[in-house]
Amino acid sequence: MNNKSNNDVPIDAEPIASTEKSAEKKTPIAPKQERAIWAIVPAAGLGRRMGSDLPKQYLTINKKTILEHTLTRLLSVESITAIVVVLDENDQVFATLPCAKNTRLMTAFGGKERCDSVLSALIALQQKAAASDCVLVHDAARCCILPSRINKLIAYLKDDKVGGLLGVPISDTLKQVNEHDKSLQTLDRDMVWAAQTPQLFPYDLLKLSLEKAIAANVPITDEASAIEFCGLHPQMVMGHYDNIKITHSNDIVMAKAIMDDQSLTLK
């Protein structure tokens, strides 16, 4: 897939200020920017597919919760002004975590669906964020994300007026099936990517897109799908296959192996 930046912009979108520096090719460094970058981490889910009494973000890897690992990596990105952690209204665990005392963290209550939780965080930021500021949304369960890849996304999209997301091309053969799981056709995998997070969009564009999609009762599986619903085309930015999302119990073992390997590589 061609990875050129796109410039599709809605009529009512705010202009986005350009940044001063481009990313290094070998070691991406977040560029200096006039607009702030606010992060949102939806962590209000119950994680029913994990088969655990605890929400998956509070399961542990190497003696730290998944959410702590994720927040630690986001907090190491200096260009992020603050992070809104979206919690279930009955959450009693987050406040007990050591990282909860970090002054760059804010909290908001989540909604019924992920899109409702992200919108709740955007509303919590509306007195702080400018219309053209950037919002970086990252899954709480993607604890293997490397700060360098977050910086790569920020640097790559510095001049993109729509925004985009990390992702990876699909290597498996893909089948479209019917309601009985009968294969109908083979899809062209060269035209299909697996979406990851972080996903980065201008504040006003993301808020407006989510509001429109929710009002239209359109299924929103990630922030990019809300942008797509409004007729815009988010930029796919090459991520890495180790940026897995913990969904099932076996993913815990895989995430631990990845994080252990990352620790050895970074030493």
pLDDT in tens, 166-225: 999 999 999 999 999 999 999 999 999 999 999 999 999 999 999 999 999 999 999 999
Measured from the Cβ of residue 41, the count of other Cβ atoms closer than 10 Å reads 28
Average pLDDT, the chain: 88
Long-range contacts of 27-30 (CB under 8 A, 24+ apart): 27/148, 28/148, 28/149, 28/151, 28/152, 28/155, 28/156, 29/151, 29/155, 30/77, 30/78, 30/79, 30/150, 30/151, 30/154, 30/155
| Model confidence at 30: pLDDT above 60 | no
Question: Domain limits of the chain?
Answer: 37-266
Task: Check whether the bond before 219 is cis (ω within 30° of 0).
Answer: no
Classify 37-266 by CATH class.
alpha beta
| C-alpha distances out from residue 239 to 145, 153, 168, 169, 255, Å | 9, 9, 6, 9, 16
Show the tokens assigned to 216.
């239209």
| Model confidence at 9: pLDDT above 80 | no
Our CA angle for 194, 73, 105, nearest 5°, is 110
Q: Tell me phi and psi for residue 164, to 5 degrees.
A: -175, -165
- For tokens 């809104």, name the residue: 84
Q: Is the dihedral of CA 164, 169, 172, 174 positive or negative?
A: positive
Based on its alpha-carbon atoms, the radius of gyration of the chain, rounded to whole angstroms, reads 18
pTM: 0.85
What's the pLDDT band for 28 if we cut at 50, 70, 90? low
Our CA angle for 182, 194, 262, nearest 5°, is 130
Q: Looking at this protein, which amino acid is placed at residue 262?
A: Q
Q: pLDDT digits over 86-117, tens only? A: 999 999 999 999 999 999 999 999 988 999 99
